[in-house]
Amino acid sequence: MSNTITAMNFNFPGQKSVYHGKVREVYTLENNTLLMVATDRLSAFDVVMPKGIPYKGQILNQIATKMMRDTEDLVPNWLVATPDPNVAIGEACEPFKVEMVIRGYMSGHAAREYKAGKRLLCGVPLPEGLKENDKFPEPIITPATKAEMGDHDEDISREDIIKKGIVSEEDYLQLEDYTRKLFKRGSEIAAKRGLILVDTKYEFGKTKEGKIVLIDEIHTPDSSRYFYTEGYESRQKKNEPQKQLSKEFVRQWLIENGFQGLEGQKVPEMSDEYVKTVSERYIELYENITGEKFVKADVSNIHERIEKNVLNYLK
């Protein structure tokens, strides 16, 4: 679709390198500056879908920047400015090679593992007798190693992270503390919107001064799963699926169409009509998560708009 941004080849002043993530393009500039462009690419099961989703990058970027501002009193973050709806600029950091996944409920990946008979997830014991979408007695942290594009993130235990020297014990304890604080705040923000923050992931990096800060996205529908509070209890009692606010609906559509990112499987064709419904769902997610009306940016020429706004900022 022409009104999306999926591929780009910007060359900004002072640009030193570019990293192509699944959804974001990360430009390292001079003066320890990092510029992140949220694209309209859609990734599921660690695979980037062939078509972009209109406004998705803007939605993710604006939720993430809002949530960073709403949590910066608890945990320092990398963000300095957002000169364009799809762009965030901040301090360059050395990312930790783990994603801090925290789960308040037994959903998604955790539920699939539990159903397969596992009672230990990333070294964390899971109680017997749980059913899908039940609340855990306490939120659990189930880290994953960061995969390169095209590879799968993999579960790892706290013990292995420290033993393998992926993160030092001192730093890891700080990451856990920040993860719990952010999840608590995120849950409080969600509750005010009639939502339950089910699970989410955080990524952290270290500044050149050695300070640990939150990087990447936070509390977006790509990194988090939300349920509607209303009707949660009655659905659990009746063993009905929960009403979700996340990209889980895309994963379910892919599963129904025979795709789970496994070898030999082909990504099903997404019609323009389906892409439009995904875009509408993302707008619904934005408005529910932030409590604000979504204002569509001008997408007649997104590349030109981004370049112009970034150059004006860098001046």
| pLDDT value for 2 | 60
How many other CB atoms sit within 10 Å of the CB of residue 101? Answer: 23
Question: What is residue 21's three-state secondary structure?
Answer: coil
Enumerate residues 6+ apart whose C-beta is below 8 A from 128.
Answer: 119
Dist. CA 44–CA 254, nearest whole Å:
9
Helix (H), strand (E) at residue 140: strand 135-141
Whether pTM > 0.75 for this model: the answer is: yes
Enumerate residues 6+ apart whose C-beta is below 8 A from 52.
Answer: 1, 4, 5, 6, 39, 40, 41, 42, 275
Dist. CA 187–CA 197, nearest whole Å:
5
With 0-12 CB in 10 A as exposed, 13-18 as middle and 19+ as buried, what is 94? exposed
| pLDDT value for 44 | 87
Cα R_g (the chain), whole angstroms: 19
| CA-wise closest residue to 297 among 34, 87, 89, 42 | 87
Helix, strand and coil in the chain, % to nearest 5: 30, 25, 40
| pLDDT value for 46 | 82
- Digit-by-digit pLDDT tens for the chain (315 residues) are 468 999 998 999 999 999 988 899 999 999 999 999 999 999 888 888 989 999 999 999 999 999 999 999 999 999 999 999 999 999 999 999 999 999 999 998 999 999 999 999 999 999 999 999 999 999 999 999 976 555 567 899 999 999 999 999 999 999 999 999 999 999 999 999 999 999 999 999 999 999 999 998 999 988 999 999 999 999 999 999 998 877 778 888 999 999 998 889 999 999 999 999 999 989 988 999 999 999 999 999 999 999 999 999 998
Helix (H), strand (E) at residue 225: strand 224-228
| pLDDT value for 1 | 46
CA atoms within 13 A on the CB side of 10: 31
What angle, rounded to 10 degrees, do the helices at 169-192 and 56-71 form?
110
Dist. CA 37–CA 161, nearest whole Å:
30
Dist. CA 126–CA 295, nearest whole Å:
42
Dist. CA 10–CA 310, nearest whole Å:
10
